[in-house]
Chains A and B, each alone.
Chain A
Amino acid sequence: MNERDGFEQRLRDARARQGLDQPSGGGKRGLPPGPWGIGFRAGLEVVSALAVGVVVGLLLDRWLGTKPWLFLLFFVLGAAAGILNVYRLFDPRRGQPK
């Protein structure tokens, strides 16, 4: 244990105390900082998947003439995809380099 190691250790401790070192992982997956950013992001993921599901359902209904059954089905599937999107957003395992 020489002088230099002691200094590095104290520097690390001081940086941790001041919160200078961001914990790696968070914010790496495109998560915006702050609760508002994360909330907006999560909400948008749900809504966009739901919108895609609704549009796909309506288009298939018009094409196949099955009003309104495919719309109802894809509404539910879109909601599920939205929840999947939010789950992916907070899933730490994804994006780890293999």
Chain B
Amino acid sequence: MIDALHQFELAPVFGLLGRSVNFSQSAAFMLLAVGLITFLMLRGMAPRAIIPGRLQALAETSYEFVHDLVTGQVGDEGKQFFPFVFSLFMFVLLGNLLGLIPWAFTFTSHIAVTFGLAAIVFVLITVVGLVIHGTHFFSYFFPEGAPKLLAPLIIPIEIISYLSRPVSLSVRLFANMVAGHVMLIVFASFVVMIGSIGAVGILGAALPLAVNVALYGFELLVAFLQAYVFAILTSIYLHDAVHLH
């Protein structure tokens, strides 16, 4: 029997102290991710060299990547949201990548975590829209030029469409991470199961092992892609909040 979901169970870490405050490995890996990001940016940018070293090049590349993404989507007003999107992108990316290390825990595989992030985005885009446009923000739910008669139909549909944003944003990341990790463990279990039936089995186990190697590479791609999608959708929503369509 393959226990594919055991890897997502939370367990307290750091002994008695961790157990008394329910400090799970999920929270521990979040702290690790934040620590690594802080280390990358502080340590990487410390030399301030004109010709960057490896760490500085990594820090600069990630900075410029997100900076281009935000300004490209939101426009020049997007610069004020750059720190937010950058933190979000790096946090999700580190969460996805750390989860690919054997025995590590993927905190982005929990809907509570991804929905928490998506809820922050949702509150931010709503507050930004209200602050910039005031009550005019509510015209977002009724496109100009539409017949007034259809208002009772269009407004609820637009509101539901707006409310579905954090749902699709969080479920996409969560589902991708869970699906990837379940596939990895299922094929890894095949390797062990087939390999345990003797000499023929060891030959047969090579096939799921090869699949797992390919899957692992694919998961690296998904880890980057999902962090990118999370960041770019946040930028698109920010664009809508700043410009109202």
Binding site for B on A (CB under 8 A): 28-30, 32, 37, 40-41, 44-45, 47-49, 51-53, 56, 74, 77-78, 80-82, 84-85, 88, 94-95, 97-98
Contacts and interface: CB of A to CB of B under 8 A. Distances in A.
A32 B160 contact: no
Contacts of A78: 160
Contacts of A98: 243
Contacts of A51: 164, 167
Given A30-B232, A30-B236, A84 B161 contact: yes
B75 A56 contact: no
A74 B157 CA distance: 9
A95 B225 contact: no
A82 B167 CA distance: 12
B202 interface: no
B171 A95 contact: no
Interface residues of B, number: 24
Contacts of B175: 44
Contacts of A82: 164
A52 B167 contact: yes
B236 A74 contact: no
Interface of B: 72-73, 75, 153, 156-158, 160-161, 163-164, 167-168, 171-172, 175, 225, 229, 232-233, 236, 239, 243, 245
A11 to B, nearest CB: 23
B172 A80 contact: no
Greatest chain A CB density within 10 A among B157, B160, B239 is at B160
Contacts of B171: 44, 47-48
B167 A77 contact: no
Greatest chain B CB density within 10 A among A52, A78, A94 is at A52
A77 B156 contact: yes
Nearest to B163: A52
A52 to B, nearest CB: 5
B69 to A, nearest CB: 10
Contact of B157 (A37, A81, A95): A81
Contact of B160 (A44, A47, A52): A52
Given A52-B163, A81-B157, A84-B161, A29 B168 contact: no
